[in-house]
Structure 1
Amino acid sequence: MNLSQITHPNQLHGLSISELQDIARQIREKHLQTVATIGGHLGSGLGVVELTLGLYQTLDLNCDKVIWDVGHQAYPHKLLTGRYHCFHTLRQKDGIAGYLNRGESQFDHFGAGHASTSISAALGMALARDIKGENFKTVAVIGDGSLTGGMALEAINHAGSLPKTNLLVVLNDNKMSISENVGALSSHLNKLRFSAPVELLQKLEEQFETLTHIDSVPELNRLKQGVKRLLVPKMGAVFEELGFTYIGPIDGHNLEELIATFSHAHQLTGPVLVHVVTVKGKGYEIAEKQQINYHAQSKFDLATGKAITSSKPKPPSYSKVFGETLTKIAKSNPKVIGITAAMSTGTGLDILQKQLPGQYFDVGIAEQHAVTLAAGLASEGMRPVATIYSTFLQRAYDQIIHDVCIQNLPVFFCMDRAGIVGADGPTHQGMYDIAYLRCIPNMVLMAPKDEAELQQMLVTGINYTNSPIAMRYPRGNGYGVPLKEEGWEPLPIGKAEILRHGDDVLMVAYGSMVYPALQVAADLSTQGIEATVINARFAKPLDADLILPLAKKFGRLFTLEEGCLIGGFGSALAEALLDNHVVVPVIRIGVPDQLVEHATPEESQLDLGLTSSQIVERVKKEVQLQLAVQVLRDDSFVQKTTAVVIGL
């Protein structure tokens, strides 16, 4: 059978092992060709091809439900569920999503962009099934990296207390999240991979089953359970003690073993965990050898594995500048501690890890723990720098409020990927951090206009110990401005700067929108409109002493931000004006109340009205409207004056 002919996963039923192996080969070919051409996540999907085929061979996907964790590993799932012919549109505007999307397919039963959610969602579906008296299988597929997330452990704890609720958890164990896994759970899984297989246990269990009335004889039943505990490997025993029936570890690339194991697991009652060992990047030798680098890739040459890049050199990324600068600061200040939640390479903290491992902690996919760990460090006089993507920091909101802000501990939050991030779609857009942080007492918020100002803000945040402080910065490359190797000066808290003077328009921009604001001002100047441009630097506290008098002078102002308008930077300025009895129009330019779907950042900016040319047109219309209103007011004054004179 050709992969292109599969429109429903039930078409896998009845295929021989050799036919399934041929489908596996085709999946890998399509997966590799697509990601090499347009970019995307690579290693995880290649590693679960046989797991997906073996699982779907044993399920009726007309009714049974498979819930995938994260979505990195779900590319084979997409290829087997009717999306082969549109797979080339992966992560592109109006194409298929890089993650699970309930609106995209009947087989995407639960959206997944953040990790550690699948067991909770699958358990909820299983409980709903039982309450409604329905009959279908529910399966959660979760990676060992995601198992470090507290939410997954909470779900396991709950599921294990429900012995009558049928739930299958498939643990896809490839020893990796994005980077190498960390922590005690990972260590236990490593030991388990080298433990004796469970066939002996299964055979002994079969022998026990031949003994009639074994459960009614306490001594025999205790013997059965004791033997079971002795034979289940240490980590498996942990799951058993938590109420799961544990099976594994099994070879995640052996289709015969996978099908037999899943078929057996479906016959068991209560919560079951099947431990499957896979190789991240399986089938593409380069990805197998470089699992961290090939977790995700931009366009690359399949033959060499090398990225296809522009010949024109690019400025360094914000993440790289951040990592290098933080490492230099940390070398002279042993109290500086970098913290990441399984994103060392993405945040640039891998630089700190390599040079100063004693001042670096990777806590795994555990943002809540990362924040409270930072709070504990800060309470003892350390300078913790919690470096977490904007979208992932949302997961630790309670900890930010209770453990950091209420106790007014000087934790420095550094939010990478703030703003529009592109092809990963709505689960990864960093849209909400301004709004969700500025409402919390004691929090200071800042954003650099470029990579050089990021260096200054790093020093500012580390030196500032009066309260928590947070810095947001975008994904991608900087502007190529000169960087300093040392001697960075901290910025005064809450102070903005005027970058350009003009008499017609006032624009106040925050972070990544400062340079676009300068471009808008330059374009307006060619049309006879001169703008004053302010780099706000701080969203909280605002520089009211600078901005409010100028707002009065100009009679209106424009705010520019790369974040949600509701509760965002523009809202902060509007509130400040009202609180100080300055009643002038505020035209807020940012992301409206809508989800930002997967597309290139440039396409998203166009859709959202955030390109320079679109902002120019909006400013011109507002200026023209202001002039028209002024003319009407003047005409009204002339008419009233004339009427009075005639009346006299």
Structure 2
Amino acid sequence: MRLYDIESPDQIRSLTIPQLNALAEDIRHFLIHSISKTGGHLSSNLGIVETTIAMHYVFHGPQDKMIFDVGHQAYVHKILTGRSTLFPTLRQLDGLSGFQKRKESVYDCWEAGHSSTSLSAALGYAAARDILHQDYNVVALIGDGAITSGMSMEALNDIGAQKRKMIIIFNDNNMSISKNHGGMEKRITSIRSSRVYRNVKQDVKGSLDHNKFGTETLKFMTAFRDRLKKGLIDAPLFEEFNLDYMGPVNGHNIAELIKVFETAKEHDGPIVVHVRTKKGKGYSFAEQDTVGKWHGVSPFNIATGQSLMKLPPNEKSWSQIISDALIQLAKKDPKIVAITPAMAQGSKLMKFAKMFPDRFFDCGIAEQHAITMACGMSLGGLHPFVSVYSSFLQRAYDQMNHDLARMNLPVVVGIDRAGLVGDDGETHQGVFDIAMLRSIPNLILSQPKDAKEAYDLLYTAFTSGKPFCIRYPRGQAIVPETIAFDSIPIGSWTKKQFGLQPKGIIIAYGPDVERIEHTVQENEYEMIVVNARFFKPIDEHLLTSLLNLNLPIYVFETDVTMGGLSSAILEFQNQYKNKIHILGISDHFVEHGSIRALRKNEHIDLESLFKEIDAHG
């Protein structure tokens, strides 16, 4: 069967097991070659091919609800539901989303981008089905990283209490993005490595192979549960939540998976099916990855595994710039510690972890815990740095407010991937943190325009004795050979005047400041360009002097305007009469696409800025 001929999962149910196995290999080949051209989430999808095929073989969407936690591993689901021809547009503007998307297909009943939402959503569906007296299956697939988060624990607790019929497929590959951490992971590992586990795993296969309908399988699994409860090994996590448990099952054996799913489908009440998979299966570079390099990739050379995106030798990613500065400061200050919620690779903290293993903490997918743990460390005398993606920081708003800012603790928060991130889409765009944090008392919120200013802001943050946030975007910047640390007055902005009689004022922040300065100079505009490197507090003294010039002001904002920098300026400007023009993201979610395409689409590119200036010049 050709992948391009698949329009619905109904077509695969007539295939034999050998044909399904061949389909799995075709899908892997397709994914590797397609993602090598577009980029995307590779290793997680390679690991879930057979499991997804078996899900669609047994369960009948769109009536049956299949929810993929996070949704980044739903590429196989998209192929089986008739979207293979759209993969050349993956994560491009107006193209195929990298996650489940309800408007994209009737088979997508849920959509997310952040982890650990699937179990709560599935329970909600099950409750709605029962209350409305409907009849369909609810299936949630969740990985071993996402299941350890607090939200998953809350959902498991309620699922066990409500006892509604639903199926949880636990995808156990011992690696969410990078290696998993924490007590829950150790609990799962103890099950994997025990002698009873290994013996039972063989018995499971034998039971399935000799049993057409699988009814004996569930009896066997119940016996397995009883053996666990007798103390032969620790009972699985799920048993303690009053959930029935089947597994472990080979997640790459389609015949075995189909039989187990058929059995689980007949079970009355919530049941967990534990499948073991290999992340990156079928592509050697991804299989050997232990740090998450092949989780999300840019276009790459299949033969060599090398990325096709090469940075100039004098440039580094913003994440790397912050990490390098942190390491330099940590060499001099033994109290500096670094914390990340499961994003060590993406945040470029692996070198810090290697150099200072006792001062590095990967707390798993637990942003709330990361912030509050940092608060405790601060009160205990340490100097914490928390690296967290902007979109994930949304999950820790209460901790930023209640624990960090309210107690006015000296913790530095590095807000990575701030601003538009591009192809991961609306769930990952880091455009809300300024508006989210600006209303919180005591917090300092800043963004550097270049590598030097990043070093200086980090140094200033650690010496400030205050809760201090530094946001920095996806992308890269030029890095000088040597950078010294200098202190920056908190709340200060800088300005640069072009021409003797400026006709207007541009207020911007981040890397756009230098781009704007270059364009102004190159095109001989007479303007004042302001580097608004602090969002809170703002430089009221400089802003007052600028407003007194009675010139038009252009606020160039690459985040949401509601509650952002422009709001702060308008609040302060209320008693002045200057004409203020605002360019920024209006009240909506920004979907996927390249950053360049999205900026043009949102009218927050330099061309749009200078068109606005020319129109009012």
Letter in 2 for 1:495: S
CA distance in 2, matches of 1:27, 1:567: 45
The corresponding residue for 1:574 is 570
CA distance in 1, matches of 2:532, 2:259: 62
SS at match of 2:556: strand
SS at match of 1:584: coil
Cα offset, 1:72, TM superposition: 2.1
The corresponding residue for 1:629 is none
Matched, 1:537 2:537: no
Instruction: After superposition, give the CA deviation of every residue in 1:51-81 in whole Å (9 maximum; x if it has no partner).
Output: 1111211111141010001122111111111
The corresponding residue for 2:166 is 167
SS at match of 2:14: coil
Instruction: After superposition, give the CA deviation of every residue in 1:416-464 in whole Å (9 maximum; x if it has no partner).
Output: 1001111111111110111000011111111000122111111111111
The corresponding residue for 1:87 is 87
Letter in 2 for 1:599: G
CA distance in 2, matches of 1:498, 1:61: 58
SS at match of 1:553: coil
Max radius of gyration: which structure? 1
The corresponding residue for 1:435 is 435
CA distance in 2, matches of 1:255, 1:9: 15
CA distance in 1, matches of 2:492, 2:589: 32
The corresponding residue for 1:546 is 542
The corresponding residue for 1:563 is 559
Cα offset, 1:540, TM superposition: 0.9
Q: Cα gap change, 1:225/1:356 in structure 2, threshold over 3 Å: closer, same or farther?
A: closer
* 1:520 and 1:616 in contact (8 A); partners too: no
Q: Cα gap change, 1:477/1:235 in structure 2, threshold over 3 Å: closer, same or farther?
A: farther
- Match for residue 605 of structure 2 among 611, 619, 641: 611
The corresponding residue for 1:192 is 191
Instruction: After superposition, give the CA deviation of every residue in 1:2-26 in whole Å (9 maximum; x if it has no partner).
Output: 2222111122213211010011011
Q: Cα gap change, 1:408/1:552 in structure 2, threshold over 3 Å: closer, same or farther?
A: same
Q: Cα gap change, 1:543/1:481 in structure 2, threshold over 3 Å: closer, same or farther?
A: same
CA distance in 2, matches of 1:424, 1:347: 16
Q: Cα gap change, 1:223/1:109 in structure 2, threshold over 3 Å: closer, same or farther?
A: closer
- Match for residue 484 of structure 1 among 476, 482, 485: 482
Total equivalences in the alignment? 600
Which range moves more in the overlay, 508-517 or 417-426? 508-517
* 1:198 and 1:232 in contact (8 A); partners too: no
Q: Cα gap change, 1:225/1:473 in structure 2, threshold over 3 Å: closer, same or farther?
A: closer
Cα offset, 1:571, TM superposition: 0.8
CA distance in 1, matches of 2:232, 2:297: 39
Cα offset, 1:572, TM superposition: 0.5
CA distance in 2, matches of 1:400, 1:225: 42
Letter in 1 for 2:492: K
Q: Cα gap change, 1:224/1:169 in structure 2, threshold over 3 Å: closer, same or farther?
A: closer
SS at match of 2:230: helix
CA distance in 2, matches of 1:5, 1:226: 47
Cα offset, 1:517, TM superposition: 2.5
SS at match of 2:461: helix
Q: CA RMSD in A?
A: 2.2
CA distance in 2, matches of 1:535, 1:96: 37
Letter in 2 for 1:489: D
CA distance in 1, matches of 2:327, 2:391: 24
CA distance in 2, matches of 1:279, 1:145: 14
| Over 6 Å off, 4+ runs | 222-225
CA distance in 1, matches of 2:314, 2:302: 23
Matched, 1:404 2:404: yes
CA distance in 2, matches of 1:200, 1:273: 18
Unaligned 5+ segments in structure 1 are 215-221, 624-648
The corresponding residue for 1:217 is none
* 1:508 and 1:535 in contact (8 A); partners too: yes
**Correspondence list, 1:45-56, <5 A:** 45-56=45-56
CA distance in 2, matches of 1:425, 1:584: 36
SS at match of 1:417: strand
The corresponding residue for 1:588 is 582
Unaligned 5+ segments in structure 2 are none
TM-score (norm 1): 0.89
Matched, 1:324 2:345: no
Cα offset, 1:530, TM superposition: 0.2
CA distance in 1, matches of 2:167, 2:432: 35
Q: Cα gap change, 1:311/1:272 in structure 2, threshold over 3 Å: closer, same or farther?
A: closer
Q: Cα gap change, 1:225/1:119 in structure 2, threshold over 3 Å: closer, same or farther?
A: closer
* 1:438 and 1:540 in contact (8 A); partners too: yes
Matched, 1:621 2:615: yes
Cα offset, 1:481, TM superposition: 4.4
CA distance in 1, matches of 2:129, 2:93: 36
Q: Cα gap change, 1:225/1:88 in structure 2, threshold over 3 Å: closer, same or farther?
A: closer
The corresponding residue for 1:282 is 281
TM-score (norm 2): 0.93
* 2:314 and 2:479 in contact (8 A); partners too: no
Letter in 1 for 2:490: I
Q: Cα gap change, 1:38/1:226 in structure 2, threshold over 3 Å: closer, same or farther?
A: closer
The corresponding residue for 1:475 is 474
Matched, 1:5 2:9: no
* 1:504 and 1:554 in contact (8 A); partners too: no
SS at match of 1:448: coil
Letter in 1 for 2:191: L
Cα offset, 1:193, TM superposition: 2.0
CA distance in 1, matches of 2:114, 2:223: 43
Letter in 2 for 1:22: A
Percent identity (aligned): 39
SS at match of 1:386: strand
* 1:388 and 1:413 in contact (8 A); partners too: yes
CA distance in 1, matches of 2:597, 2:81: 28
* 1:506 and 1:551 in contact (8 A); partners too: no
* 2:314 and 2:480 in contact (8 A); partners too: no
The corresponding residue for 1:498 is 495
* 2:42 and 2:295 in contact (8 A); partners too: yes
Q: Cα gap change, 1:509/1:2 in structure 2, threshold over 3 Å: closer, same or farther?
A: same
CA distance in 1, matches of 2:270, 2:311: 54
